[in-house]
């Protein structure tokens, strides 16, 4: 079975993926920003010892044991943060399973960041999974906890439940119809955070946005997930309405998406940013049933293997920038012809 990011899920025409994460710190240790390197190593060792008892096929990997391309490929999948791999002064590790739907960052901003992932909109199932994993760890390790305010964190925004729920959404039609800015304002006014994955606002290359919860204290885990789910459902509805509006002028939308498909499928070299832009509208054309040459599986492969780190992992070799542009165009042709 393929990894979750190569699968389609519920409402995958708009919702690319879902994530729920929990932040935890260990009792008896300082917060990470106050820890010395030996103390950081002790945190790693303390957590490493319980991994065999957790199950889920989890394995422990020191970040220093991963090459740079692998680190970048994990960040491109949104399994780890760019900041996690850019700071070389802290002793770090990840705990991950083969399916990569569970990835725990050790010694990021806090001692433990539990993360679970799925394609499509699966927030409630992810919440149940991350709570189950959290409870297993909590039986073996003591968390920093206050009866008054909940779980403690190095960052005030993570105190309380320590939970954040988020979805990544693809909003090309709202962009093309000029309704995106209005939608962004509505989401922000409803107490949610929304940011472009590849830029901000209408300049976001690829039309991908992450909607996430802000509040962790004074709310329950179910309330956090419910609020993000409710917002995402409204966004799905508005994006689909915008797509119906675009389809009223069938010739224009078909011409637009097929022009981008033509460039993407015939180019001899293509940059990462240009590929994101083209692929956004090609995915739109595929979701609308206009582009018959592609299906959901090929779109997922194109989204993953055209990213610089995962392109190099796919090819099994390290490439410079110009070589990546050439080989990216070749890989696109290969995937389309599969």
Give per-residue pLDDT as tens, 213-228: 988 888 999 999 999 9
| 32 in the same domain as 117 | yes
Cα gap 112→22, rounded to integer Å: 8
| 304 in the same domain as 203 | no
Structural domains in the chain (count): 2
| pLDDT (tens digit per residue) in 141-195 | 999 999 999 999 999 889 999 999 999 999 999 999 999 999 888 888 888 888 8
Largest CA distance in the chain: 65
- Segments forming the whole domain that contains residue 283: 250-337
Residue 3 CA, distance from chain mean position: 13
Residue 338 CA, distance from chain mean position: 26
Task: Tell me the whole-structure pTM to 2 decimals.
Answer: 0.94
Cα gap 152→150, rounded to integer Å: 6
* 98 DSSP assignment: T
Per-residue pLDDT at 200? 54
Answer yes or no: are the C-beta atoms of 68 and 60 closer than 8 Å. Answer: no
Structure tokens at 83: 């900041």
243, 270, 301 - which closes a domain: 243
| 254 in the same domain as 213 | no
What is the CATH classification number for the domain harbouring 104?
A: 3.30.590.10
Angle at 221 between CA 216 and CA 222, to 5 degrees: 135
Per-residue pLDDT at 210? 95
Question: Helices marked H in the chain — which ranges?
Answer: 37-48, 51-54, 68-76, 82-86, 123-140, 172-176, 180-189, 221-246, 250-266, 272-287, 296-305, 308-315, 321-337
| 269 in the same domain as 128 | no
Per-residue pLDDT at 2? 80
Answer yes or no: are the C-beta atoms of 334 and 311 closer than 8 Å. Answer: no
| 266 in the same domain as 189 | no
Distances (CA, A) of 109 to 13, 57, 134, 153, 168: 33, 25, 18, 9, 22
| 222 in the same domain as 125 | yes
3-state secondary structure of 235: helix
**All residues at 6 or more sequence positions from 334 whose CB lies less than 8 Å from its CB, including other chains:** none
| 188 in the same domain as 314 | no
Residue ranges for the chain with pLDDT beneath 50: 201-202
């Amino acid at each position: 079975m393929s990894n979750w990011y190569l699968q389609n899920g519920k409402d995958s025409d708009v919702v690319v993926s879902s994530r729920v994460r929990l932040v935890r710190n260990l009792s008896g240790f300082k917060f990470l920003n106050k820890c010395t390197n030996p103390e950081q190593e002790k945190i790693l060792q303390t957590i490493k010892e319980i991994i065999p008892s957790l199950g889920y096929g989890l394995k422990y990997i020191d970040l220093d044991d991963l090459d740079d391309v692998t680190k970048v490929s994990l960040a491109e999948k949104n399994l780890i943060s760019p900041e996690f791999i850019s700071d070389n002064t802290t002793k770090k590790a990840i705990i991950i399973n083969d399916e990569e739907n569970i990835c725990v960052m050790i010694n990021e901003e806090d001692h433990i960041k539990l993360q679970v992932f799925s394609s499509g909109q699966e927030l409630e199932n992810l919440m149940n999974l991350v709570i189950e994993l959290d409870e297993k760890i909590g039986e073996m390790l003591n968390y920093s906890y206050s009866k008054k305010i909940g779980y403690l964190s190095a960052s005030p925004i993570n105190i309380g439940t320590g939970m954040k729920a988020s979805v990544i959404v693809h909003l090309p039609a709202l962009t093309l119809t000029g309704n995106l800015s209005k939608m962004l304002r509505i989401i922000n006014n409803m107490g949610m955070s929304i940011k472009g994955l590849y830029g901000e606002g209408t300049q976001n290359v690829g039309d991908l946005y992450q909607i996430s919860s802000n509040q962790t204290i004074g709310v329950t885990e179910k309330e956090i997930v419910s609020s993000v789910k409710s917002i995402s459902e409204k966004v799905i509805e508005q994006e689909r309405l915008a797509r119906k509006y675009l389809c009223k002028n069938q010739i224009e939308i078909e011409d637009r998406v097929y022009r981008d498909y033509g460039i993407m499928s015939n180019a001899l070299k293509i940059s990462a940013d240009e590929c994101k832009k083209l692929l956004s509208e090609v995915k739109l054309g595929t979701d609308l049933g206009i582009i018959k040459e592609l299906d959901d599986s090929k779109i997922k492969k194109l989204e993953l293997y055209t990213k610089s780190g995962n392109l190099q992992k796919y090819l099994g070799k390290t490439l410079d920038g110009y070589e990546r542009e050439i080989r990216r165009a070749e890989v696109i042709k290969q995937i389309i012809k599969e």
